[in-house]
Amino acid sequence: MMELLKILAKRNNFIARRDVEGFFETVLMNPSFTKEFLHADILNATTANSYSKHIAFIDFSALDEPWPIYINLVRDPLERLVSWFYYRRAPWHWAERYEVFGDAIKMPSIQWLKKDFNHCIDEHDPECVYEQMELWNVGDHRRQSLFFCGQWKKDCIPFNSHEAMQRAKKNIEERYAVVGTWEDTNTTLTVLEAYIPRFFAGAKEEYYKMRKFLGNFNRNQYRPTVSDRVRAVLSRNLTQEIELYQFIKHRLYKQYIALQLDLDPRLRE
């Protein structure tokens, strides 16, 4: 999405910004740090702009600040977990981090780099144990709900929490213009074009031009196939995350169908 925003910025005359890459992602912030971050990085813009960052939902009203147009894109929770597992083991990931951070990057062992996700699950490796309501492993992408639940650590950090999922649903309904999915790219881009044309006019055209030029640029050729047995294990451990994902897809489809009805009222008959 960030690459697409760069292209759309030129086409639609806005500035596409993103946070500076840090050694660690700052997903949760205390209120004073959040306020400082907003004024230093978000609210200081004087022209139309977008800003991309991996961060949990911020309640702008609670901070007495003006609301932005919130959007997000999600992935199937199982795919998200497996993708992250292999992405952080991919050669280019470590090459890119070394280029940015130099000797501060400590290379992991060959054994860790060659770890297989199926074996990791089967052997109950601590990296692949998804304990319900756990409060740790915040950085391994098992909590997609956290990014919509918000900055409330007590309610939003427990893994696969019903409370976190319900908070996430509420925030999505009330505060997000569009939440798309990478599994429904065409539908997502169609809705973005219609709901936020100032920034996303021509999004489908530019995306497919970019994809034709770059190929399947998100595909990790080093990723082995995950067994059906392991997928079943993950499904049992990600029930709330899967429900949130299905909720997001349903909302996206409703937005898309509404657009089709507006284009052709005969469909209402």
Residues with a catalytic annotation lie at 54
Residue of 65, 61, 262, 64 lying closest to 174 (CA atoms): 61
Q: What are phi and psi of 70, to 5 degrees?
A: -85, 130
Distance CA 127, CA 117 (A): 10
Distance CA 142, CA 131 (A): 11
Distance CA 227, CA 122 (A): 11
Amino acid sitting at position 219? R
173 contacts 251 by C-beta, under 8 angstroms: yes
Distances (CA, A) of 122 to 108, 118, 233, 239: 22, 6, 9, 19
Residue of 249, 67, 88 lying closest to 176 (CA atoms): 67
